[in-house]
Amino acid sequence: MPELLSTSPENTFNIGVNWGLQSQKGWVLALSGDLGAGKTQLIKGLAHGLGVSQIVKSPSFVLINIYTGGKLPLFHMDLYRLNSPDEIYTAGLDDYIARQQGVCAIEWAEKWCDLKNYKPKLLRIVEIKVIGQSKRLIVYEDISN
């Protein structure tokens, strides 16, 4: 699995920018990592790479933020407050992945047990590990359909 070392929030942002520039319709980024690891920072960069001009915020209290205006819509989900797969389905979040109309970025994605079953064009499973005050190890695996 590829590993990237980020030495600052700006570096994490720039990794996201690069991924946003590469993104295509139907891509899903499934992010996991501790609180403060940099998941939202990476997604801010992703949005920038997609050409989104809006301010990107964590959707912890609303579950999903939708950003348009870039080359593709960005569906930014946060599952932190959800406790079971049933709550994910009840919230209707699975529809955003099934439709494959843009790029989905999911924080706390480990709570979603069956992401692979949706057969996204690309599922990038990302784990951000805190290895120092400003150092992060970003490990990812791409699963293509």
Range of the domain at 24: 3-144
CA separation, residue 106 to residues 31, 59, 79, 93, 132 (Å): 6, 10, 7, 10, 24
Number of structural domains, the chain? 1
Residue 106 forms beta bridges with which residues? 30, 77
Q: What is the pLDDT of residue 22?
A: 96
Q: What is the pLDDT of residue 85?
A: 81
Sequence-ordered list of residues with C-beta below 8 angstroms from that of 126, at least 6 positions apart, any chain: 29, 30, 31, 32, 42, 138, 139, 140
Rounded Cα distance between 104 and 90, Å, is: 18
Q: What is the pLDDT of residue 138?
A: 98
pTM equals 0.93
Q: What is the CATH number of the domain that holds 102?
A: 3.40.50.300
